[in-house]
Structure 1
């Protein structure tokens, strides 16, 4: 964001964030930065569609901080700069539309000299368009889609945003959602949002499609360390339908309706220099979900946790000064799903996890060299998922000839491995729920099954693949074309020898 600080109507302005100003300005700032100062008045121009109460949350603390004894001009400038950055984070003002002008307030006629300079501050902003319509293509992990989107900004004058989206994709046949979000207590780093959604997703690796109808209530915030947190309550009616003629008994047993009510917390710490192709830095992420237990209703109950850690380091090359363009990266992911009894008990009978809640592993965006869902338990042609998994990857990136060290195009060498294991539910007791036969496990059997699955992760060499390929880091998504060779593959798993195309935003 470029903020401007003008003094007393002078044509000389200092652009915040730039590294050079003229000599006269520098001398003037050095001369006055330690001058005692306070704020007499603040005026904000251009926010015609924004409520006064929202602006007061940002600007009143600036006046109060400047009223403290010993406040200097430099500190006032810092407070004003922080306030304009905060205004920009509401995403209702144009980043290049901020200008701040300072002038000395008229002194009283009493003749008594003031102990510090009183400032009148004028802030000018330009609001973004309130209505935006867009259409185009979007990319997620293993999927591309076409979408239309309508966004209404500053709906009620408090930086609220209403977004309505419709899309159709390669896996998600159709998806519709509407989201209304707003800052909490005038804080752009603390937002509350409500979402309604409906989608139909094909899952050919498990011979079915899933229809989902539900809603989310989300509270997200950014802490002082620039880490993001989000707490989400979700309620979703899931229909597992559209079974193929070759669908396995496992898929057929889970077909039909289920209702999931869950609470999820997501933590993200991202210190990478580029999210699509980082050459340095690291990413830490954790996702914890509790469904169906305690006050949460529904007919599925479990605790589910995933953790992810990735990092990248540049590599110096002898004879090359500065950035060589060569770097290595590594990543690790792990997840555990622990079935729970419904209600408040921890010792009651528990149903095994369903196929639409289990983990899937394998594909061009995680364990390359395997088909989508190619790792882990299979029933016939269907990848039925697992309850515990680990996956890791080591990558080396080299610049192509004549492309330079900063090119988004790279040659990639990789080796990745993974293991996906299901809890053994064969010791469970069969029961009947309506017209559907189910299998129930005791709490002791679940604990033993999870422990056995965790132990199985380290039993023998994991499924392993290596390869070489090209990577292109577009600002919207990352594209990979790899030649992969599975080196270790367990019985029933589906490897992918040869070329594999990956498009996504989050790669292992």
Structure 2
């Protein structure tokens, strides 16, 4: 009886395997519905399917896999409706000279609308915006995308951008895309008593590493920044950096996200790193530095059945801003002190909860003036809300987080050792002063406990962003830092 049952269960799988191994070759392939798309875009995707090398000794399984890969490449172009219809017919119906294993394939594509207009509200890290956008697809028939965007909000008073992008090597598995973006914005920074006006142009190449979930972005950016609209109470540090600044930089972003849910992770991990190099040699500009950031996060479910939908998560962020050595600066002068435009800020409802925006780190009077080295970490416990569905987007959470943000010290004897880099002499620092100052900043970072806060709250994971309503209590607070005891609201897409 057992052997008969095994035969009944196994036979369908055996038949399926035999069908996949049946000989099949593609005799002719036709694409329908791509009326606004250039053939030069589609040929690299479909031509390999009908090549002699691909059809030599191919089977039904091989043809199916090649069609599936081509379908995925079409989906990633962003100009067609997903899952195109594919029809297979015996080639002998139209060409008696073909072999019995030859098939004709017809692929029916449906192009997405060429223009898409949106208007609504948007949420980011600790701010909200009203926006309008216009997306133009397949602008010149090569899967180009033109995105025009305008917004106004609580912190970014106005922002206008235009981005034109096009695929590079669409037949590859890298999803490579080249983009040119221009941006104009005015952002209020109340934690430092000023407004920043930004005009920038960025050339960007984004691609995915083959056979992995990792993505890379390479950028060149030229940005004119202006610190303006200073408050009457603005500190001397902010006033010293007021005015114009030009940054010319190269930037690399690496991102790998293996979590099951980025907003409510139950398991998995994520890695993100950013490296920026400004003012090196021919790049020019009036700021010169290297800036590195690393972000790690992980989550794991708790095993007992009564802890269903309960997970333990942790996050770590590190960053360093290092002024370039004199030999690397195009002007030949000493490395300049870092500017408030480029320094890190830390604290707020989306990173170190329980502190005000920019509440951690160096302050000059009421102003958060940022730092050059930071470390922040968190641990949190996500708990299900009683009487909610297992896949509910609502959770309770308990958290504890902390961090330190410090400024590089000017250790040069002639500059009044101990002065912060933001108040260094206009002539800049030499290489030895920079090295000693950064070593001092790192020593300060690990000396003594970090500023810490803990609390509890409720989390809602919307497809657009994550919402948190927390009650926080600062436990360790340094002089000058600004904690937030009580209720704090966080809205964003990237939380510590």
Instruction: Give the TM-score of the pair, scaled to structure 2.
Output: 0.91
Supply the distance in 2 between the matched residues of 1:392 and 1:65 (Cα, whole angstroms). Answer: 56
Residue in structure 1 matching 2:185, options 199, 205, 227 = 199
1:417-439 residue CA offsets vs partner (Å, 9 max, x unmatched): 10000001263767xxxxx9725
Aligned to 2:34: 47
Residue in structure 2 matching 1:420, options 405, 420, 423 = 405
Residue in structure 2 matching 1:94, options 73, 81, 85 = 81
The answer to whether structure 1 residue 285 and structure 2 residue 272 are counterparts is: yes
The 1:109/1:276 distance shift into structure 2, 3 A limit, reads closer
Supply the distance in 1 between the matched residues of 2:445 and 2:60 (Cα, whole angstroms). Answer: 61
Aligned to 1:182: 166
1:280-338 residue CA offsets vs partner (Å, 9 max, x unmatched): 11110000000011221100000000000001111123x54xx7011110000000000
Contact 1:248 1:379 in 2 (8 A): yes
Aligned to 1:393: 378
Supply the distance in 1 between the matched residues of 2:483 and 2:52 (Cα, whole angstroms). Answer: 63
The 1:45/1:429 distance shift into structure 2, 3 A limit, reads farther
What is the CA distance between 1:63 and its match in structure 2?
A: 1.8
Supply the distance in 1 between the matched residues of 2:326 and 2:77 (Cα, whole angstroms). Answer: 41
Aligned to 1:245: 232
What is the CA distance between 1:186 and its match in structure 2?
A: 2.5
Deviates more, 1:28-37 or 1:475-484: 28-37
Supply the distance in 2 between the matched residues of 1:230 and 1:391 (Cα, whole angstroms). Answer: 24
1:177-210 residue CA offsets vs partner (Å, 9 max, x unmatched): 0000000133470000000110000000000000
Aligned to 1:313: 300
Supply the distance in 1 between the matched residues of 2:319 and 2:109 (Cα, whole angstroms). Answer: 46
The answer to whether structure 1 residue 120 and structure 2 residue 104 are counterparts is: yes
Aligned to 2:209: 223
Q: How does 1:95-110 map to 2 (within 5 A)?
A: 95-96=82-83, 98-106=84-92
Number of aligned residue pairs: 474
Supply the distance in 2 between the matched residues of 1:479 and 1:271 (Cα, whole angstroms). Answer: 22
1:90-149 residue CA offsets vs partner (Å, 9 max, x unmatched): 0101115x1101111118657xx94x6111100011110000111011111111111000
Supply the distance in 2 between the matched residues of 1:343 and 1:254 (Cα, whole angstroms). Answer: 24
Aligned to 1:276: 263
Supply the distance in 1 between the matched residues of 2:190 and 2:50 (Cα, whole angstroms). Answer: 60
The answer to whether structure 1 residue 358 and structure 2 residue 317 are counterparts is: no
Aligned to 1:14: none
Supply the distance in 2 between the matched residues of 1:407 and 1:178 (Cα, whole angstroms). Answer: 37
Deviates more, 1:334-343 or 1:268-277: 334-343
1:60-108 residue CA offsets vs partner (Å, 9 max, x unmatched): 1222276443211111111011101110110101115x11011111186
The 1:507/1:428 distance shift into structure 2, 3 A limit, reads farther
The 1:99/1:466 distance shift into structure 2, 3 A limit, reads same
Supply the distance in 2 between the matched residues of 1:256 and 1:377 (Cα, whole angstroms). Answer: 21
Contact 2:178 2:205 in 1 (8 A): yes
Contact 1:292 1:343 in 2 (8 A): no
SS in 2 for 1:295: helix
Contact 2:457 2:470 in 1 (8 A): yes
Where does structure 1 lack aligned partners over 5 or more consecutive residues?
1-23, 431-435
Supply the distance in 1 between the matched residues of 2:236 and 2:96 (Cα, whole angstroms). Answer: 92
Deviates more, 1:172-181 or 1:269-278: 269-278
Aligned to 1:326: 310
Higher helix share: 2
Supply the distance in 1 between the matched residues of 2:52 and 2:190 (Cα, whole angstroms). Answer: 60
Contact 1:39 1:67 in 2 (8 A): no
What is the CA distance between 1:344 and its match in structure 2?
A: 3.3
Residue in structure 1 matching 2:393, options 408, 421, 427 = 408
Supply the distance in 2 between the matched residues of 1:464 and 1:385 (Cα, whole angstroms). Answer: 18
The 1:203/1:42 distance shift into structure 2, 3 A limit, reads same
The answer to whether structure 1 residue 478 and structure 2 residue 466 are counterparts is: yes
What is the CA distance between 1:31 and its match in structure 2?
A: 4.5
Contact 2:346 2:360 in 1 (8 A): yes
Supply the distance in 1 between the matched residues of 2:15 and 2:32 (Cα, whole angstroms). Answer: 27
What is the CA distance between 1:490 and its match in structure 2?
A: 0.6
The answer to whether structure 1 residue 445 and structure 2 residue 436 are counterparts is: no
Contact 2:333 2:428 in 1 (8 A): no
Supply the distance in 1 between the matched residues of 2:12 and 2:158 (Cα, whole angstroms). Answer: 57
The 1:72/1:439 distance shift into structure 2, 3 A limit, reads same
Instruction: Give the TM-score of the pair, scaled to structure 1.
Output: 0.89
What is the CA distance between 1:169 and its match in structure 2?
A: 1.0
1:17-55 residue CA offsets vs partner (Å, 9 max, x unmatched): xxxxxxx99898555321222111110111111100111
SS in 1 for 2:43: helix
SS in 1 for 2:474: strand
Contact 1:396 1:414 in 2 (8 A): yes
Supply the distance in 2 between the matched residues of 1:93 and 1:216 (Cα, whole angstroms). Answer: 27
Contact 1:293 1:344 in 2 (8 A): yes
SS in 2 for 1:103: strand
Contact 1:362 1:375 in 2 (8 A): yes
SS in 2 for 1:88: helix
